[in-house]
Amino acid sequence: MQVISNEALARLHPTVHHPESTRRLEVLLEAVGEWTEAGPATVEQIERCHSPEHIARIRAIEGDTWLDGDTPASATSFEAALLAAGGAIEAARTGGFALVRPPGHHATPVRPMGFCLFNNVAVAARAAQVEEGLERIAIVDWDVHHGNGTQDIFWDDPTVLFVSLHEWPFYPGTGRPGEGNDTTVNIPLPAGSGNEEYVLAFEEIVEPAVRGFEPDLLIVSAGFDAHADDPLASMEVSGLGFRDLARRCLGLAPRIAAVLEGGYNLETLPRLVHATLDGFRG
Ligand SMILES: [Zn+2]
């Protein structure tokens, strides 16, 4: 599994003291050393998942602003968001791991939310369907927060399976017990859950669901904020735990891709990405 990114993401969409900062990409790219540069998504690719009004709103930002209480943006945010989605598309196309920011899984069809501008994973899934003719896409989201935006985008779509493991109750409040349908599976886990709980959830729910769906492509929304040392959440997953989850994805689909979501401890983030790449590489 190759790493895909764009070094401009360590500079664009500066957020200064916000946890979702340019520093995340800086430390990751320094740690991985080499990667394949991906270009931006086109507006047409973004429009498959987001309303024209939503896209126009991000495009029109000229100065520093807040899109909601958690989501800063500025003049280069549109460019960064297109590059993030473009990296995700390239990862889905080639079976790579897109190290991109801003993250995407809270962005709904009609609004940015929770550090997210465009839903990178959703845009990548649609590109794989429309441009490559893949029929069935599975998305497994192990970011510590519920992927409410991804859930919204694919709620009524039987061709995309969305499975989310997340701390609950917690931000953004969705993904509660019993919330779901045939192709939307939520696995809310209590604060303090660690490797054991995540592995059990994979064995009992995630793996059977994805296998049963028989996807042409599996995309992992790979957040690392369920790590024990992450400042934003209260889970206890370790580096070896993420490696194990990645390894468990192998064999669930003929092609597997991953896209970075959260993960806000700059000390541990590179190590966690390495461990996960190890797992995906078998
Ligand atoms: Zn998160």
Note the pLDDT tens digit of each residue in 92-116: 999 999 999 999 999 999 999 999 9
Q: Cα–Cα distances in Å, from 128 out to 4, 87, 97, 156, 216? A: 16, 13, 15, 18, 10
pLDDT of residue 153: 99
Ligand 1 centroid vs 223 CA: distance in angstroms? 6
Ligand 1 centroid vs 211 CA: distance in angstroms? 25
Alpha-carbon distance of 14 to 251, in angstroms, equals: 38
What is the arithmetic mean of pLDDT over 64-84?
98
Ligand 1 centroid vs 125 CA: distance in angstroms? 20
Q: What is the pLDDT of residues 209-218, one digit of tens each?
A: 999 999 999 9
pLDDT level of residue 61 (50, 70, 90 thresholds): very high
> What's the distance, Cα to Cα, between the start and end of the chain in Å?
10
What is the percentage of the chain residues whose pLDDT exceeds 70?
100
Alpha-carbon distance of 140 to 124, in angstroms, equals: 13
What is the arithmetic mean of pLDDT over 224-249?
98
Q: Cα–Cα distances in Å, from 91 out to 13, 64, 191, 246? A: 21, 30, 31, 15
Of 155, 119, 152, 104, which Cα lies nearest the Cα of 46?
119
Amino acid making up residue 115? F
pLDDT of residue 16: 86
| 106 is a catalytic site residue | yes
Q: What is the pLDDT of residues 169-214, one digit of tens each?
A: 999 999 999 999 999 999 999 999 999 999 999 999 999 999 999 9
Q: Which of 106, 145, 146, 166 is catalytic?
A: 106
Ligand 1 centroid vs 242 CA: distance in angstroms? 15
Alpha-carbon distance of 230 to 55, in angstroms, equals: 31
Is 142's pLDDT higher than 90? yes
Is 48's pLDDT higher than 90? yes
Is 280's pLDDT higher than 90? yes
Alpha-carbon distance of 251 to 262, in angstroms, equals: 25
What is the arithmetic mean of pLDDT over 274-282?
97
User: If DSSP codes are grouped into helix, strand and coil, which group holds residue 46?
Assistant: helix
Q: Cα–Cα distances in Å, from 164 out to 45, 145, 147, 184, 201? A: 24, 9, 7, 8, 10
| Inter-residue contact 141 to 106 (CB < 8 Å) | no
Ligand 1 centroid vs 263 CA: distance in angstroms? 7
